[in-house]
Amino acid sequence: MSNASSATAIIAEEAAIVRQSYALIFVATFIGEILFGIVIAQVYIYYTRYQRDALWVKLFVLFLFVCDICSAVFAICWMFFLFISHWGDIAVFSQPTWMLATDPLLLGLMTCATHFFFARRIKIITENVWLAALVCFFGVGTLAGALGGTIEFLRVESLADLSSLKPIAIVWLLCAAMGDVIITVILSWSLKRKRSGFKKTDQIVDRVIRVTIQNGFLTAAVATAALILYLSSSIPYHLALSLILPRMYTNTILSSLNHRDVLHPGSSTGREGSSMGGFATASISRRAQQTEVMVHVEAHELSDAMKSDGDWDAPSKAHPV
């Protein structure tokens, strides 16, 4: 009888440990799936509204979407592995699996691609190659850390051994957060410097700055929080945020691309930035100087280019880049 009581006590203790460690991860998985549903809606809106966008932008969105699908599927497979296939087996909760190992790999690919995407925009806006190279540097650092983390993750025998991967995790998550912050700061700073003095244009600039700050700092904050949890706790709480981040990156970019109609009311849906890789274009001019301010918006950015012979009521024109 005492043996049965001891076994029951051990099981209860192990179950309590699982609840403490995985309750947040379990909830985060379902939050991630809710965000994935939003991603699907955003992708549908993008491909139906902006059919005239450049092919490379459509492929970029498709790449992020495919990575997000894989991330969501593997997260559910991991939950199925823990709670269905191995129901009652406490030992599996400490086992690293290939399904969980795909998370840093996919997130690293998505983050690196996103950083390169915005690095190109930064070069166009600021005409500064070094600033774009800095963003690319953090993108490569994120991917390198993610690849290293995936390889080492498959080598550890228990999730408790993840603490040995701290140098790699620091490179991975810190580069991701720093890249997001730098993108946000550079683009916001560039926008403020390019105010035209026209009320309509400045209103658009203000809107884009708000979107830039919201999107950039949100992903940076979550990546930083994941790093802090990883460094400060032996319980794998950081996995919860890591499972959400892929959906956040995809939603951030798609919401910015689909925000173009809001930033440029009265435009013809699907025409703005049709050859600009997802840019919204607002045309405002001064009749006296016969100049036109082209405001280009994509995800985290807006660039101004001056063009002659414009008109206040002239429709926006797609501008290849």
- 3-state DSSP helix/strand/coil % of the chain, to nearest 5: 75, 5, 20
- Length of the chain counted residue by residue: 321
Query: 55-80 vs 98-126: helix axis angle to the nearest 10?
Result: 160
Name the pLDDT band for 54 (thresholds 50, 70, 90). Answer: very high
Q: Residues 69-76: what's their mean pLDDT?
A: 93
* Residues 282 and 264 sit within 8 Å (Cβ to Cβ): yes
Residue 302 three-state SS: strand
Q: What is the pLDDT of residues 4-13, one digit of tens each?
A: 565 565 556 6
Question: What's the one-letter identity of residue 82?
Answer: L
**30 φ, ψ to 5°?**
-75, -35
Q: What whole-number distance in Å separates Cα of residue 59 and Cα of residue 292?
A: 31
**262 φ, ψ to 5°?**
-75, -40
Q: What whole-number distance in Å separates Cα of residue 62 and Cα of residue 68?
A: 10
Residue with tokens 């995936």: 150
Q: Residues 190-205: what's their mean pLDDT?
A: 68
DSSP H/E element including 281: strand 280-286
Q: What is the pLDDT of residue 289?
A: 36
| Token duo for residue 217 | 């700092």
Q: What is the pLDDT of residues 150-164, one digit of tens each?
A: 888 888 777 767 777
Q: What is the pLDDT of residue 124?
A: 85
Domain boundaries, the chain: 2-263
Residue with tokens 């990156």: 249
Q: What is the pLDDT of residues 89-100, one digit of tens each?
A: 777 777 778 888
What are the Cα distances from residue 53, in Å, to 115, 117, 208?
A: 20, 15, 19
Compare 89 and 64 and report the one with higher pLDDT: 64
pTM of the model: 0.76
Q: What is the pLDDT of residues 278-294, one digit of tens each?
A: 333 333 333 333 333 33
Residue 313 three-state SS: coil
Residue with tokens 């429709």: 315
Instruction: Find the range with the poorest average confidence among 9-18, 76-85, 121-130, 165-174.
Output: 9-18
Q: What is the rounded average pLDDT for all residues in the chain?
A: 75
Query: Which class in CATH covers the domain with range 2-263?
Result: mainly alpha
